[in-house]
């Protein structure tokens, strides 16, 4: 608990600063990334869906587009939170020296780190909520069960924001984010039950897939969107909760080590 001992409500000032910048650059920094999941829905849902037609998930046949929509929401949650706390946080830390300016105020280093963490999670929450509203116009989700998308997006955002800050604390240069993206983010993008049911994988690959955070986020979101009980929901929530606490603690320790020299 000593890791979080110095955190205060002043961390919300950091969150507010990021929000104000985000609000002023909305059309450049948010709208284009949010259009990317929409393109996925059009390409995979309607394009691929016209070829695949139906898939079988947990013994039930359904339209492919209904299956893939929750996975696309999960991808939006991961992308918005992880990339906000990697590339964007690195720019604020290294190039803009925003963190240095903040630390010249009464803010403590832990406040700055937690403020960034919360802002990354907020981006995921906003992305999941907007995607929920957008896909509802296509009649692809079940109400009111799909409202669980909102808290699940926040939980996933906290986890991926923590992982993003850990990466930011460790990489020496901004171009090295490409390595973590290729090794960590891209495999989850493809093999976390986002675009196809995991039960088609070999047993060893299925076991590996369930160790990936996005698999659990995708599973919970799919259960919410389709109005069904997710696969092992208690295990997924326990996994995500434990991973979020661990990632948050590690992010505070590692980022503090980098910022305090």
State the Rg of the chain over Cα. 19
| DSSP notation for 4-66 | GTT--TTHHHHHHHHHHHHHHTHHHHTHHHHHHHHHHIIIIIIIIHHHH-EEEETTEEEEHHH
Confidence of residue 10 (pLDDT cuts 50, 70, 90): very high
pLDDT of 130-178, one tens digit each?
A: 889 888 888 888 999 999 999 999 999 999 999 999 999 999 999 999 9
Given a cut of 90, whether residue 87 has pLDDT beyond it is yes
How far apart, in whole angstroms, are the C-alpha atoms of residue 153 and residue 134?
15
Domain boundaries, the chain: 2-259
How far apart, in whole angstroms, are the C-alpha atoms of residue 260 and residue 108?
11
How far apart, in whole angstroms, are the C-alpha atoms of residue 146 and residue 69?
12
pLDDT of 107-130, one tens digit each?
A: 999 999 999 999 999 999 999 998
Question: What are 93's two structure tokens?
Answer: 């830390």
pLDDT of 233-261, one tens digit each?
A: 999 999 999 999 999 999 999 999 999 86
| DSSP notation for 171-202 | -SSGGGHHHHIIIIIHHHHHHSSSSS-GGGS-
pLDDT at 54: 86
Confidence of residue 49 (pLDDT cuts 50, 70, 90): low
pLDDT at 237: 97
pLDDT at 3: 64
Cα–Cα distances (Å) from 160 to 10, 74, 167, 241, in that order, read 22, 11, 10, 12
């Amino acid at each position: 608990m000593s890791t979080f001992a110095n955190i205060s409500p002043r961390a919300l000032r950091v969150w507010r600063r990021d929000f104000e910048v985000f609000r002023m650059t909305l059309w450049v920094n948010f709208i284009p990334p949010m259009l990317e999941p929409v393109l996925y829905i059009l390409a995979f849902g309607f394009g691929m869906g016209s070829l695949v037609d139906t898939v079988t998930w947990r013994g039930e046949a359904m339209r492919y587009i209904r299956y893939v929509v929750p996975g696309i929401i999960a991808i939006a949650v991961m992308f918005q939170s992880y990339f906000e706390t990697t590339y964007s946080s690195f720019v604020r830390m290294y190039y803009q020296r925003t963190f240095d300016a903040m630390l010249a105020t009464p803010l403590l280093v832990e406040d700055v780190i937690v403020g960034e963490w919360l802002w990354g999670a907020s981006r995921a929450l906003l992305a999941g909520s907007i995607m929920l509203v957008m896909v509802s116009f296509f009649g692809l989700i079940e109400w009111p069960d799909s409202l669980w998308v909102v808290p699940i997006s926040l939980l996933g955002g906290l986890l991926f924001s923590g992982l993003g800050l850990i990466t930011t604390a460790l990489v020496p240069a901004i171009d090295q984010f490409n390595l973590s993206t290729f090794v960590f983010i891209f495999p989850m993008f493809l093999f976390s039950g986002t675009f196809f049911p995991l039960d088609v994988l070999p047993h060893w690959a299925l076991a590996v897939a369930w160790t990936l955070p996005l698999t659990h986020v995708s599973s919970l979101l799919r259960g919410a969107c389709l109005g069904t009980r997710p696969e092992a929901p208690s295990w997924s929530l326990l996994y995500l909760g434990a991973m979020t606490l661990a990632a948050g603690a590690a992010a505070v320790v590692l980022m503090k080590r980098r910022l305090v020299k």
